Structure 1
Amino acid sequence: MVKPTLKIKGFAIYKGFLDRLAQERLVEDIRQVAQAAPFVSPITPSGQKMSVRMTAAGPYGWITDRRGYRYAKHHPNGQAWPDMPPSVIQIWQNISEAARAPECCLINYYSEAARMGLHQDKDEASFDWPVVSVSLGDEALFRMGGETRGDPTQSVWLASGDVVVMGGAARRSFHGVDRIKFGSSALLSKGGRINLTMRIVT
């Protein structure tokens, strides 16, 4: 098993886990997913439009609207989510140490102005399983805190090909993306960042 480059607040960070060819192949797989399940601009339960655009692959996708945050078996357009690409499952198998396969690959696209406020991933049935996060494209300033929103935080720049595993105590930790270093990567033709997060839902 590959050892993490950094461990911050229980977050295991693997710098450069994916080489350029693997990143390009993964982007092409994501394009195929997005053809079947187009990116949407989600609305929070309070009616606020999120700055990231989202889609998903696997048995479940994560969605949000006026009815709340939740996992669902169908895209907002009513169609079932496409299958998770083998390239995504392979990353999970190589790094997660989990005995179960992921049930959701949430795909977020960050444009130049997009961000993700501090939040916890807590809609899954159990905190026993890790969340595996993959960065593609422009660098992102990733912030990690503790189990309460007011706990001290630390930040690290995530580059294209970096992978973060949130397991153990980190599963309950607040985290977010403060900003994107737009144009820092040539992986995506129009710039921006794609983030994949693989989760076990049930």
Structure 2
Amino acid sequence: MGSDPHTAHTGRDRRELAPGAVHVPGWLSPDQQRELVTACRGWARGPAPIRHTKLPRGGVMSVQTVCIGWHWQPYAYTRTADDVNGARVAEFPDWMVELGRRALVEAYQDATAGDTYTPDTALINFYDGQAKLGMHQDKEERSSAPVVSLSVGDTCVFRFGNTETRTKPYTDIELASGDLFVFGGPSRFAYHGVPKVRPGTGDPATGLSSGRLNITMRVTGLDG
């Protein structure tokens, strides 16, 4: 992914919702969004294909998920997709590591912010018009390194809360196609969710005619 993302927004758009939690609208260029859609389509086909994740108590998530680097299933990481087809998931690409590092530099306005950041997994969630994601923490990782979230396609309502409870206080913002959201530091384990997607708000020029893609990069802190 060779194009430079830092031309699609102005610095004054950046907003810090809480310490360590930063929203940068329009960070990904249109070309980068199309490249991400193409890459995600490839990962969705396999080796471990996209699926609705089954929860331990019998529920099924309304979002569809495919993983790279490490496979996430409630509530652990493995190298193989044991709840899908047993295949080893696709490798985490170097270009995405670089994209994650640039994201931290932009979000935190610090040229050194990405120096030691080496994400090794990403959860790629696809939301159709009815999909939602309840309030949850990203806490299966053994690392407290920031999470880098990228959005492509339809706009969603993103609810960002606190580290203690799924309930208020929380802040609702809209994440649109091309937006970057980073949460680390004191906000790394904040509860967050997606109560609503706004169908028809995306641009088909991204290569995504409907729905929303969300790519979240993480550092697992795991070996092997």
What's the TM-score once normalised by structure 1's chain length?
A: 0.90
Q: Identify which range, 31-40 or 137-146, moves more after superposition.
A: 31-40
Aligned to 1:63: 73
Unaligned runs of 5+ in 2: 1-5, 105-112
Note if 1:180 corresponds to 2:193. Answer: no
Aligned to 2:40: 30
1:103 to partner: Cα distance: 1.2
Task: Look up the SS of the partner of 1:136 in the other structure.
Answer: strand
1:142 to partner: Cα distance: 0.4
Note if 1:195 corresponds to 2:206. Answer: no
Aligned to 2:146: 130
Number of residue pairs aligned between Structure 1 and Structure 2: 195
Aligned to 1:102: 119
Task: Look up the SS of the partner of 1:155 in the other structure.
Answer: strand
The counterpart of 2:86, out of the listed 58, 78, 94, is 78
Letter in 1 for 2:151: S
Letter in 2 for 1:133: S
Aligned to 2:62: 51
The counterpart of 1:151, out of the listed 153, 168, 172, is 168
Q: Identify which range, 117-126 or 182-191, moves more after superposition.
A: 182-191
- Deviation track 1:18-48 (CA, whole Å, cap 9, x = no partner) reads 0111100111111121222310111111111
Q: Identify which range, 79-88 or 158-167, moves more after superposition.
A: 79-88
1:86 to partner: Cα distance: 4.0
Aligned to 2:180: 163
RMSD (CA atoms): 1.6
Task: Look up the SS of the partner of 2:87 in the other structure.
Answer: coil
1:191 to partner: Cα distance: 0.4
Q: Could you list the runs of 4 or more consecutive aligned residues of structure 1 that deviate by over 6 angstroms after TM superposition?
A: none
1:85 to partner: Cα distance: 3.5
Letter in 2 for 1:143: R
1:188 to partner: Cα distance: 4.4
8 Å CA contact 1:144–1:153 kept in 2: the answer is: yes
Task: Look up the SS of the partner of 1:172 in the other structure.
Answer: coil
1:108 to partner: Cα distance: 0.4
In structure 2, do the counterparts of structure 1 residues 100 and 113 end up closer, same or farther at CA, with 3 Å as the change threshold?
Answer: same
Letter in 1 for 2:146: P
Letter in 1 for 2:73: I
Aligned to 1:17: 27
8 Å CA contact 1:135–1:195 kept in 2: the answer is: yes
Aligned to 1:7: 16
Q: Distance in 1 between matches of 2:207 and 2:55?
A: 27
8 Å CA contact 1:26–1:87 kept in 2: the answer is: no
Q: Distance in 1 between matches of 2:53 and 2:198?
A: 23
Task: Look up the SS of the partner of 1:132 in the other structure.
Answer: strand
